[in-house]
Amino acid sequence: MNDTIEHLATLVREAVNITVLTGAGISTESGISDFRSPGGVWDRYNPDDLNFQSFLSSEESRKIYWKFHREFYLPMKLSKPNDAHYALAELEQMGKLQCVITQNVDNLHQRAGSSPDKVIKIHGTACMVRCLACGATFDREEIERRIDEGEEVPRCESCNGLLKPATVSFGQPMPEEETSRAFEMARSSDLFVVLGSSLVVYPAAQLPFEAINSGAKLAIINLTATPYDNYADVVIHAKCGETMKRMIELVKGDT
């Protein structure tokens, strides 16, 4: 194993179909707190109030859920893409990027220039709201305005169904189409890159195994160790942004 940015750049040059998995670590570099970290939003709420079944069954839990989600949404809305997001957009422009599979719900990949059809959002998006009854979708800002005007628990204006941010909550089924496509892309890649994921949340944590089991090289850039470090061709314990920016410079031949 050669844990250098230069070796990562070599793997990228040699690759044809690169699939990237991004986790919370890439978003924290844009100022979005990982709500699971100590001192984060998560510490101020009872997790039992935030799971999917509680949302469905309790009006009080729905009020708490929307309050929690609004605390997360505002800093996310104000955040900006970082060098790692822009590096992935450049990889796409080079014709090497097969797709980005993201565990994040902030839409920063698209804002950095990644094509929407190249981004697989396996945990959904916080930028949209979906009716759980009829499936109608709404722009998040529209629903935020309604809450600002006094609605604690917004409902669908068409069918009166429950509205929920279009993210995957604990206990909520993963989106079948996106999950299936993510596994397909992992298996068809020749280089699988992990950016800012601890690789402990499933099913996303299964994706590197699917990739290497199908013959792909594996690169991991994360501040802390992951369960897959011993299986990777490159492991770099550093920030995603600075690592990916330098890697792109090397691939392009910049000094």
69, 85, 109, 123: the active-site residue: 123
Known active-site residue 123:
yes
Contacts of 152 (CB under 8 A, 6+ apart): 63, 66
Closest by alpha carbon to 205, among 179, 167, 244, 235? 179
- Strand, coil or helix: what is 255? coil
Give, to the nearest 10 degrees, the angle between helix 240-252 and helix 5-14.
60
Q: Is the peptide bond before 154 cis (omega within 30 degrees of 0)?
A: no
Q: Name the token pair of 39.
A: 């001192």
- Distance in angstroms (rounded) separating the CA atoms of residues 204 and 58: 29
Cα-based angle 137, 143, 147 (whole degrees, multiple of 5) = 150
Q: Name the token pair of 10.
A: 């070599």
- Distance in angstroms (rounded) separating the CA atoms of residues 241 and 237: 12
Place of tokens 């822009």: 86
Q: Are 69 and 75 a contacting pair, CB within 8 Å?
A: no
- Distance in angstroms (rounded) separating the CA atoms of residues 187 and 27: 25
- Strand, coil or helix: what is 99? strand
Name the residues annotated as catalytic.
Answer: 123
